[in-house]
Amino acid sequence: MYSRVMSTSTADRLIESTRELLWERGYVGTSPKAIQRHAGAGQGSMYHHFTGKPDLALAAIRRTAGELWATAEGVLNSPGTPYERIAAYLLRERDVLRGCPVGRLTMDPDVIASDELRAPVDEMLDRLRERLAGIVEEGQEQGQFAPSLDAEEIAATIVATVQGGYVLARASGSPAAFDTGVRGLLALLAPLR
């Protein structure tokens, strides 16, 4: 029992360390030695739990995508009108200058080149677009959004605004660019009167 608890703890430390390093350095910049050092785990522990760096990176990417999805779902399922829920998603607190831990992976050539590593990123973004499209459709049914809007296009625009906002904020060194993009999109989506 004791060794099982310790081994779960080591695996979690390895996954959390990999998540952090992937966000900071990307896949290429995250070496197994750096992961082990960050996690306070030895090489034997790493290879006891994972077959190698790709296996560990996949576990880390899946966990990150899962947590981001849970956060988005929590906001999008909150009470309020469809517009208010979309606004809450767009305005939720983020570490804008650090970027999106999932979105940044799309700029990593090694992640994009691997169907396996890219899959959880793509799946999470697809689920988010589908959920947002459903909320837009709900708003159309309630007369809040114009019936002529294409819900899937609006959902893609929302995701693109968030991801592009991260890029603009990081490039300028200021969250103002992110905030400006969000305010502009919310003005365009303002409910019909």
Q: Going from the N-terminus, what domains does the chain have, and what CATH number goes with each?
A: 57-189 (1.10.357.10)
pLDDT classification of 6: cutoffs 50, 70, 90: very low
- Within the chain, how many helices (H) and strands (E) appear? 9, 0
Instruction: Give the pLDDT confidence score for residue 44 in this predicted structure.
Output: 87
Q: How far is CA 157 from CA 48, 67, 115, 134, 149, in A?
A: 43, 22, 25, 14, 12
In this model, does residue 97 exceed pLDDT 80? yes
Give the pLDDT confidence of 130-178 residue by residue, as tens digits: 999 999 999 999 999 999 999 999 999 999 999 999 999 999 999 999 9
pTM recorded for the entire structure: 0.88
For 81, the enclosing helix (H) or strand (E) is none
Q: Name the CA radius of gyration of the chain, rounded.
A: 19
Residues 8-21, mean pLDDT to the nearest whole number: 90
Distance CA 114, CA 132 (A): 27
Nearest Cα neighbor of 163 from 86, 70, 96, 76 is 96
